[in-house]
Chain A
Amino acid sequence: EDQVTQSPEALRLQEGESSSLNCSYTVSGLRGLFWYRQDPGKGPEFLFTLYSAGEEKEKERLKATLTKKESFLHITAPKPEDSATYLCAARGYSSASKIIFGSGTRLSIRP
């Protein structure tokens, strides 16, 4: 069964303190690994799509990386405005049109 697990559930950092969020996935034949940002009371906002192990993508203070079993969202020198829930999702060949979402990591950055 396809599965996506994110850790930690919640992470509190001081402004400027770099860290990483983890997304472990089990899908048969990865067709895409997605990262989204979600602010309270709003819909998820697309960040990155990764397709193959070794791929990396960057946007401002965020960098997403992909291995055969995991993806990491690295956040460098975060600011309070980076506080949000970050969602990971994966699609495999066997899941037709479905994208499987993790439960998210709630990130809080203290000034």
Chain B
Amino acid sequence: DVKVTQSSRYLVKRTGEKVFLECVQDMDHENMFWYRQDPGLGLRLIYFSYDVKMKEKGDIPEGYSVSREKKERFSLILESASTNQTSMYLCASNKGLATQETQYFGPGTRLLVL
């Protein structure tokens, strides 16, 4: 059964803090993604990774970085959290580009930056 887990369901952080969001998938998927979801804006891609230690910028990478040291784990880092980064963060994964395209999502992390 497909499973993507995220380390926290809810987080409250202060402006300027460094924030780590962790995502783990157990499906041996090559690709992993980080999105943020805001009302009226839909899902927007922050970063994705198609292999260990590989990363690509999405549509809104500013203020974020990522790390993929192992195939099953993809971390999103907010170097210095700001209030405009308050959002729902969603991790997803899928198989290689040539095969199945469907992305499977984690439960999400709702982040509040004060």
Q: Does any Cβ of B come within 8 Å of A78's Cβ?
A: no
Q: How far is the CA of A41 from the CA of B92 in the complex (A)?
A: 16
| CB atoms of B43 and A43 under 8 A apart | no
B105 contact set on A, CB distance < 8 A:
36, 43-46
A89 contact set on B, CB distance < 8 A:
43
- Give a binary string over B12-48; 1 marks a CB under 8 Å from any A CB, 0 the rest: 0000000000000000000100000000111101001
Chain B 72-96 residues near chain A, CB threshold 8 A: 90, 92
Q: How far is the CA of A3 from the CA of B40 in the complex (A)?
A: 15
Given A31-B101, A103-B41, A103-B42, verify A97-B31 contact (CB < 8 Å).
yes
Q: How far is the CA of A44 from the CA of B43 in the complex (A)?
A: 10
Nearest B residue (CB) for A32: B101
Task: Choose from B31, B59, B106, B110 the contact partner of A41 (Cβ within 8 Å).
Answer: B110
Q: Does any Cβ of A come within 8 Å of B58's Cβ?
A: yes
Interface centre among A36, A89, A99, A102 (most CB of B within 10 A): A99
Q: How far is the CA of A42 from the CA of B6 in the complex (A)?
A: 11
Given A49-B102, A99-B103, verify A43-B90 contact (CB < 8 Å).
yes
A91 contact set on B, CB distance < 8 A:
101
Q: Does any Cβ of A come within 8 Å of B61's Cβ?
A: no
Task: Choose from B58, B90, B97 the contact partner of A44 (Cβ within 8 Å).
Answer: B90
Q: How far is the CA of A96 from the CA of B101 in the complex (A)?
A: 12
Nearest B residue (CB) for A44: B105
Give the B-binding residues of A (Cβ under 8 A). 31-32, 34, 36, 41-46, 49, 87, 89, 91, 96-99, 101-104
Give the A-binding residues of B (Cβ under 8 A). 4, 31, 40-43, 45, 48, 50, 56, 58-59, 90, 92, 97, 101-108, 110
